[in-house]
Amino acid sequence: MQIFTRPPFARSSLRDNSTLPPEINVTNDENKNDMGESIMETNTTNFGIKGSVIAEESHSDVNNVVKEVSVTSSEKAEKSVAEPLTTINKFEQESFVLNSTVSINFGILGLGQAGGKITDSFAVCRLPGKNQPTYPAIAVNTCLADLNALRNIPDSQRVALPNYRLGAMRQPELGYAAISQDGVLEDLVTNRVPRVFEQVDHVIVSAGIGGGTGTGGIQTVCEALAEKGYSVTAMITLPRNLDSVEEKQNANVFLGTLQELMYNGLVSSVIVVDNNLLYNRYVNQAKDSGIDMDWKTASNMEIVRIINEMNATTGLPSPTTFDGAELTKVLTSGGCVTFGKARISLPDPALLESLALELSNILNQGYLAEYKNLAEARYAGVQLIMPPNLEFGPMMERTIIDELKKKMPTLLGTYVGHAQIEGQNELLVYTIVSGMGLPGRAQELSQLLQVEVEKINAADAKRTQFTPNEVTVMNPFQKSAKKRTARNPFAKESSSGKAENPFGNK
Ligand SMILES: Nc1nc2c(ncn2[C@@H]2O[C@H](COP(=O)(O)OP(=O)(O)OP(=O)(O)O)[C@@H](O)[C@H]2O)c(=O)[nH]1
Ligand SMILES: [Mg+2]
């Protein structure tokens, strides 16, 4: 496939048949780093611990295939995790999180800048009373500056892909080449990952699919982890309307592959983060509240908040929660996963009506992306967090199940639970739904891109007096019949195994 808007000279800077860009070498000087840690706060507690910033010289060997940013030994990794905290992020969470452990031990692996920063935000979470990260985290990037800018991931868990220290220039083929260098992936999945993710139940691999490193690497990493027996969720961010044609184009091409990854069963599920939705929500909230911070940081907190809170609800000491095994089932049953959260003030004289309304709203809107295709869902879980004096009666259960069935008539599994928490004075409603195809935003992006590409092509044709004869933007929604069987669209046995990599043979 040829895309007219990508200038042919962008790739011609590569030597013939070479996967490496010329004149870029990793030096030890680049490997210096400051590291600080921050802590996730609840909205009821302030942690005021302060400490010193650690600055260490790199001990990496330039000849090593995969280079740690600065600290090499696992002993140092443990030490750096336990260092006193240097920065405090105001990272608000519901207070019930304080009384809960999490049920699923996620390991988070981030690729590229977006993936790394999201992973860095996960690394802020702490279990109650412990100064240990809730989620072990690994950040992988071509760009050393991006790795150095992370604040919460220990140095030994930052992996610099050699020979591309400036980044992959938003070219997924460079990201793919970077992860495909001899020994790089092998070192990651056989050395680093087992060491850091020793206690992990489920791995979330995150990347923004508008750039080069994350987009080019995420498929390869997910497949390699799946082959090593890890249960893997791919988490991707989609570009905003404001983002460039390049970013939309990269996303558009990759979404086709992502669908194949989903349908051939190598990833357990996909979490789509619609940056456009998070950006608009942030801008509206910022207008009302006068908050002034980077929307990406705020959005990354939103991602961590909803996943960590959902995970914590299933770890609460209550005999009737939607539990960790059930959450695992929803999360590993294939297709996309969407989350929802609502808050109902109490007392509410029309509580059942409010519950039905809020449930309907959060299912329609989605916390991280909006799904108009919820009817395709296979599994749904609902968790209520309530005060001890509120009873969870059959009418409440009925209200929830009716609402789920209305929106998702072909669900295979429904899990409804609740926990009564001392000190809780509102009703919190959490939802998680899985099994759908991609959200509407994927199609919308493709259409936006088509319009922008046509405009650019028209302008170019005018300028050069040349009419291109091959102008295509790949439609990622052409379903591959071979890989979608009516019996089980996410079946492992279908297809030859791996999804085709759009960046692999360029
Ligand atoms: N939600 C969120 N999205 C981000 C963040 N940083 C970047 N993005 C988006 O992610 C997409 C990919 O950008 P990067 O992550 O910078 O790209 P990369 O994988 O590092 O690739 P190269 O820079 O080309 O090597 C872009 O469309 C960004 O808008 C972030 O912190 N949070
Ligand atoms: Mg980058």
Residue 8 in any domain: the answer is: no
Residue 280 in any domain: the answer is: yes
- pLDDT recorded at residue 258: 94
- pLDDT recorded at residue 503: 74
Distance between CA 392 and CA 382 in Å, rounded? 13
- pLDDT recorded at residue 505: 53
- Residues 365, 380 within the same domain: yes
- Residues 145, 278 within the same domain: yes
Ligand 1 neighbourhood includes 358 CB (under 6 angstroms): no
Ligand 1 neighbourhood includes 300 CB (under 6 angstroms): yes
- Residues 401, 340 within the same domain: yes
Cα 288-361-309 angle, rounded to 5 deg: 75
- Residues 415, 456 within the same domain: no
Question: Where does residue 130 rank: exposed (0-12), middle (13-18), buried (19+ CB within 10 A)?
Answer: exposed
Per-residue pLDDT of the chain (506 residues; tens, 9 = 90+): 333 322 222 222 222 333 333 222 222 333 333 333 333 433 332 222 222 222 222 333 333 444 455 333 333 333 333 222 223 345 678 989 877 889 999 999 999 999 999 999 999 998 777 778 999 999 999 999 999 999 999 999 999 999 998 889 999 999 999 999 999 999 999 999 999 999 999 999 999 999 999 999 999 999 999 999 999 999 999 999 999 999 999 999 999 999 999 888 889 999 999 999 999 999 998 888 877 789 999 999 999 999 999 999 998 887 787 899 999 999 999 999 999 999 999 999 999 999 999 999 999 999 999 999 999 999 999 999 999 999 999 999 999 999 999 999 999 999 999 999 999 999 999 999 999 999 999 999 999 999 999 998 888 777 766 565 655 555 544 445 444 333 333 334 444 557 777 777 54
- Residues 423, 453 within the same domain: no
- pLDDT recorded at residue 289: 81
- Report which secondary-structure segment, H or E, holds 315: none
- Residues 445, 469 within the same domain: yes
Atom of ligand 1 minimally distant from the CA of 167: 25
Tokens, residue 131: 């100064």
Residue 493 in any domain: the answer is: no
Residue 11 in any domain: the answer is: no
Amino acid at site 467: T
Residue 208 in any domain: the answer is: yes
**Sign, CA torsion 349/350/351/357:** negative
Ligand 1 neighbourhood includes 116 CB (under 6 angstroms): no
Cα-only R_g, the chain:
23
Ligand 1 neighbourhood includes 363 CB (under 6 angstroms): no
| Residue ranges in 108-159 assigned as alpha helix (H) | 112-122, 144-148
The torsion defined by the Cα of 398, 404, 406 and 411, in degrees rounded to 10, comes to -120
Q: Which of 5, 488, 478 is nearest to 257 (CA)?
A: 478
Q: Which of 427, 417, 325, 415 is nearest to 377 (CA)?
A: 415
- Asked if residue 175 lies in contact with residue 152, where contact means CB atoms within 8 angstroms, the answer is no
Q: Which of 67, 35, 57 is nearest to 153 (CA)?
A: 35
Estimate the share of the chain in helix, then strand, then coil, as percent rounded to the nearest 5. Answer: 40, 15, 45
Amino acid at site 351: L
- Asked if residue 279 lies in contact with residue 244, where contact means CB atoms within 8 angstroms, the answer is no
Phi, psi (degrees; rounded to nearest 5) at 431: -130, 150
Of all protein residues, the one whose alpha carbon is nearest to atom 5 of ligand 1 is: 114
Distance between CA 419 and CA 428 in Å, rounded? 10
CA 47 to centroid of ligand 1, rounded, Å? 30
Mutational test site, ligand 1, from 111, 237, 279, max ligand atoms within 8 Å of CB: 237
Residue 483 in any domain: the answer is: no
- Residues 283, 425 within the same domain: no
- pLDDT recorded at residue 91: 64
Distance between CA 319 and CA 260 in Å, rounded? 39
What per-residue string of b and e applies to 287-307 under the rule 16 or more CB within 10 Å gives b? eeeeeeeebbebbbbbbbbbb
Ligand 1 neighbourhood includes 248 CB (under 6 angstroms): no
- Asked if residue 429 lies in contact with residue 384, where contact means CB atoms within 8 angstroms, the answer is yes
Mutational test site, ligand 1, from 244, 275, 449, 503, max ligand atoms within 8 Å of CB: 275
Ligand 1 neighbourhood includes 494 CB (under 6 angstroms): no
Tokens, residue 417: 């639970």
- pLDDT recorded at residue 445: 96
- pLDDT recorded at residue 483: 42
Distance between CA 271 and CA 269 in Å, rounded? 7
DSSP conformation letters of 484-501: --SS-TT-SSSSSSSPPP
Distance between CA 431 and CA 429 in Å, rounded? 7
CATH of the domain at 51: 3.40.50.1440
Residue 496 in any domain: the answer is: no
Strands (E), 333-465: 336-345, 379-386, 413-420, 426-436
Which of 436, 458, 482 is a domain's end point? Answer: 436
Residue 130 in any domain: the answer is: yes
CA 12 to centroid of ligand 1, rounded, Å? 24
- pLDDT recorded at residue 46: 27
Mutational test site, ligand 1, from 109, 111, 113, 205, max ligand atoms within 8 Å of CB: 113
Atom of ligand 1 minimally distant from the CA of 168: 25
Q: For 257-274, how does the pLDDT look when each residue is reduced to its tens digit (9 = 90+)?
A: 999 998 888 899 999 999
Distance between CA 38 and CA 153 in Å, rounded? 10
Ligand 1 neighbourhood includes 110 CB (under 6 angstroms): no
- Residues 288, 275 within the same domain: yes
Strand partners, 108: 137, 204
- Residues 338, 265 within the same domain: no
Atom of ligand 1 minimally distant from the CA of 244: 27
Helix (H, G, I), strand (E, B) or coil at 269: strand
- Residues 185, 92 within the same domain: yes
- Residues 459, 418 within the same domain: no
CATH of the domain at 343: 3.30.1330.20
Q: What is the number of domains present in the chain? A: 3
- pLDDT recorded at residue 230: 96
Atom of ligand 1 minimally distant from the CA of 275: 1
Residue 98 structural domain: 25-313
Which of 284, 313, 342 is a domain's end point? Answer: 313
- Residues 172, 204 within the same domain: yes
Distance between CA 275 and CA 369 in Å, rounded? 8
- Asked if residue 439 lies in contact with residue 371, where contact means CB atoms within 8 angstroms, the answer is yes
| Residue ranges in 290-368 assigned as alpha helix (H) | 295-313, 324-331, 351-365
CA 114 to centroid of ligand 1, rounded, Å? 4
Q: Which of 266, 260, 188, 257 is nearest to 230 (CA)?
A: 266
Distance between CA 485 and CA 391 in Å, rounded? 44
What per-residue string of b and e applies to 188-199 under the rule 16 or more CB within 10 Å gives b? bbeebbeebbee
Ligand 1 neighbourhood includes 276 CB (under 6 angstroms): no
CA 141 to centroid of ligand 2, rounded, Å? 7
